[in-house]
A and B are shown apart, each in its own frame.
Chain A
Amino acid sequence: MSSTEQPRNTETAKVSAAAPVSRVWFIPLIAIVIGAWIIFTQWSNQGPLITIELLGAAGIEENKTPIKVRDLAIGQVTKITLKEDLDGVIVTARIDKEAEHLLTENSKFWVVSPRISFSEVSGLSTLLSGSYIAMNANGNGRPQTNFKALPRPPVTPPGTPGLHITLTSDRDFAYKEGDPIVYKGHKVGEFEESFFNQYERAMYYTAFVEAPYHRLITENTRFWDASGVKVRLRASGIEVDTGSVETLLSNGVTFDVPEGSTPGVPITDKAYFEIFESEEMAQSESYRLSAEYVLLIDESVRGLNIGAPVEYRGLRVGEVVSINQLPLEMGSLLEADYKIPVVINVYPGKVRQGDTPAGLARVREQIREWIKQDLRATLRIGNLLTGALYVDLNHDEEAASSEVARILDYEIIPTSSTELTQITQKAEALLDKINALPLEQLSDDMVSAVNQMGVAAESVRQSSTNFDALIADVDMKSINSELVKSLQQVSNMLETLTNTGLIDKEAQQSLDELQETMRQIQPLLQRLNQTPNSLIFGRQHEPIEPKAKTVSQEP
């Protein structure tokens, strides 16, 4: 187009400002909003991240290993990192939001993997599915996100009805988690945890007794070891103790109330109980108070053990507490006149004085009086098979009265020679008597007697030979012939008598005479029966005799 051209009807262009932002930008904006909403929704719906501290990551895999509550997956392991101090791993896991409220200070985590021991077999299903982290929670407590996993599955799931108790022991036996608590052969609970108190040098165990057996746990309950088979050779004989089959394979404890004791108040809170070595010791410990005495033994104490019975007139009243364990101020075995101190207990409760301070005082006073008079302690043999000794308190009538001696606050019960010593002394006396016997003379006399017996035997043999010769001279045939003839004659005579009826006649006559005699005696017997005194005072005329018929008797 050029400038010469006629202008046409032209319209002036309306110039308007262009839109500052293109509408096309709404598309990414909407996308951003939608994306943000999606992110927010995702963020708001996902559960929290938690960390679980494990000893090792065996069987744990990122983005695969689930976290389960009662076999329901509520989360997944997202990351596994090594702890800085290298003593474990930290597992980070995402928990579903629906399970967030379970993450409290009471939540427990542990790794479920195949586990086989004497007391349990568990987790076999993970052989195919792989290990997983199990969680147990009750929703109570403050929220928490960092946890430390249990080294092994908890023995008792939280919320299980029953009673938690703490058992302690300083003996040479140990229990591990899962070991049973047995009552009369029936498993009623398990050990849960154990820890060693280095200051007390004792083990403490947390155990759980299931309901309803937890009602058996009272304040007077005693626990004692029931592990394996226990064979004891004691003064009272051989004792064999066994628990259940489980305690035969592993350790275990059992419990009961001591004989003669009342059960007491049931335990409701966590309580402490001592684990005794045996039922016997548990029973003995039922008496709280005891009077302790010392025996100074100047002979061998071989066969005397701690716990050996102390008896008075055959009844057990206490036990041996220690042997040669008093402080060194007492002296030592290297000294020539050293007497071995043996500490014994006498329980007031066992002599029916009551397990009270008053009963203890009465027992002390009485034994003090007896010691002044004639009470002596003697070690006696309780079991000939094992040679076990026990302490016998007895009254020695030949003992002289003496004051009560004391040593280290212990009153001393004088001792008399032990039964073994007495037996030895008697044996020695017997041997002395045997040695004093004129054995040589006895031997000579016995030889002489044997010689004389030989002569006598020869004489008997000669007499026998003579008798045989005499018998040989007897004409047995003629004697037999005479005997046969005589028997024949006797037979003929008897036959004759039988045929003539003489024997029957004589017998009948004798019977008749006997009968007649009895008839003669009969009135006398009747008279004696009716009036025995008639032999002395004579008899009266009989008032009874037949009466004539009177007119009144006429029909």
Chain B
Amino acid sequence: MYRLSIAIFLVALLNGCSSQSVSLQYYLLHTPNDSVSVSLPPDAQPLLIRLTNLSVSDYLMQRGLAVQTAENALHISTQHIWAEPFEAGFKKKLTHALGPDYKLIYTNTKKDDEYMLDLSLLHLVATYQGDAVLDARYTLSSPTGSTVNKAFQVKLDLDSDGYGHAVSVYRQAIVLLADDIKTQLSAMQ
């Protein structure tokens, strides 16, 4: 019995050591490929938009990427994870998508001549129906005091399987959100 226990333990240890670990896959919302050098005219200054608040759903704060598996179920991956905090990546991507005419700034110091954006990201997830959904609520405030409240939702089809493709679709959705914000800004101006 004693020898058998030692043999079982050694077999389990050998199996563990011989098992190849699955490599982790890291993903970025904002990729270096997005950084494109744009030359602005010397007198052209981007319009500053102060992001006063960015609230993100709790499941998006997880390190692993989430995928909706049923109407009320999510799966958070342990192998496919964000390379940086989701909030930081989202800010970078949104900033990039708003450029070059608009610049998103994050400091809390408010100024009266700035546009302010209060954004709540409710969902950004691949669904079990083959879609990637972005659902957000944002409020734009102009220096003149006018305010726009907007609910934005976009659903894009996933053309292929995998988290990599889903992340790329997420980027497209964020670009569409940025376009919508820009549209509202233009209207407010």
Which residues in A have some Cβ–Cβ distance to B below 8 Å?
516, 519-520, 522-523, 526-527, 530, 535-542, 544-550, 553
Contacts and interface: CB of A to CB of B under 8 A. Distances in A.
A527 B63 CA distance: 12
A527 B163 contact: no
Interface string B135-171: 0000000000000000000000111111101100000
A397 B158 CA distance: 97
A446 B86 CA distance: 83
Given A523-B81, A544-B77, A549 B24 contact: no
B63 to A, nearest CB: 5
B12 A536 contact: yes
Nearest to B77: A542
A519 B83 CA distance: 10
Interface in B72-100: 75-81, 85
Contacts of B163: 545-546
Nearest to A541: B22
Interface stretch (B33-41, B113-121, B122-130, B179-187): B122-130
A549 B166 contact: no
12 contacts: A523-B64, A536-B12, A539-B21, A540-B22, A542-B78, A544-B69, A545-B67, A545-B77, A546-B162, A546-B166, A548-B157, A549-B131
A526 B76 CA distance: 9
B75 A523 contact: no
Nearest to B64: A523
A250 to B, nearest CB: 92
A526 B161 contact: no
A535 to B, nearest CB: 7
A522 B21 CA distance: 17
The contact size tier of chain B is: 35 or more
B20 interface: yes
Contacts of A523: 24, 63-64, 78-79, 81
Nearest to B67: A546
Nearest to B19: A538
Contacts of B158: 546-549
B62 interface: yes
Contacts of A542: 77-80
B30 to A, nearest CB: 17
B7 interface: no
Given A548-B159, A553-B129, A553-B130, 17 more contacts: A520-B63, A530-B78, A537-B15, A537-B16, A538-B16, A538-B20, A539-B21, A540-B22, A542-B77, A542-B78, A544-B67, A545-B80, A546-B161, A546-B162, A546-B163, A548-B160, A548-B161
Nearest to A519: B63
B12 A527 contact: no
A547 B128 contact: yes
A168 to B, nearest CB: 89
Contacts of B76: 526
Contacts of B24: 523
Contacts of B162: 545-546
Contact of A526 (B64, B128, B129): B64
Contact of A522 (B63, B75, B129, B131): B63
B31 to A, nearest CB: 18
B47 interface: no
A538 B78 contact: no
Q: Which of A541, A545, A549 has the most chain B CB atoms inside 10 A of its CB?
A: A545
Contacts of B15: 536-537
A343 B62 CA distance: 95
A18 B169 CA distance: 186
A523 B22 CA distance: 13
Given A546-B162, A549-B129, A549-B130, A538 B77 contact: no
A549 B129 CA distance: 6
Contact of B130 (A520, A526, A535, A547): A547
Contacts of A516: 85
A519 B85 contact: yes
Contacts of A538: 16, 19-22
Interface string B29-71: 0000000000000000000000000000000001110010100
A540 B78 CA distance: 11
Contacts of A527: 78
A85 B24 CA distance: 141
Contact of A539 (B22, B81, B126): B22
Nearest to A536: B16
B105 interface: no
Q: Which of A526, A538, A548 has the most chain B CB atoms inside 10 A of its CB?
A: A548
Q: Which of A527, A530, A539, A542 has the most chain B CB atoms inside 10 A of its CB?
A: A542
B144 to A, nearest CB: 34
Contacts of B160: 548
Q: Which of B69, B75, B130, B163 has the most chain A CB atoms inside 10 A of its CB?
A: B130
Nearest to B160: A548
B76 to A, nearest CB: 7
What 5 pairs across the A-B complex have the smallest Cβ distances?
A: A549-B130, A538-B19, A546-B126, A536-B16, A546-B166
Given A542-B79, A547-B158, A547-B161, A536 B13 contact: yes
Q: Which of A516, A526, A535 has the most chain B CB atoms inside 10 A of its CB?
A: A526
Contacts of B13: 536
Contacts of A547: 128, 130, 158, 161
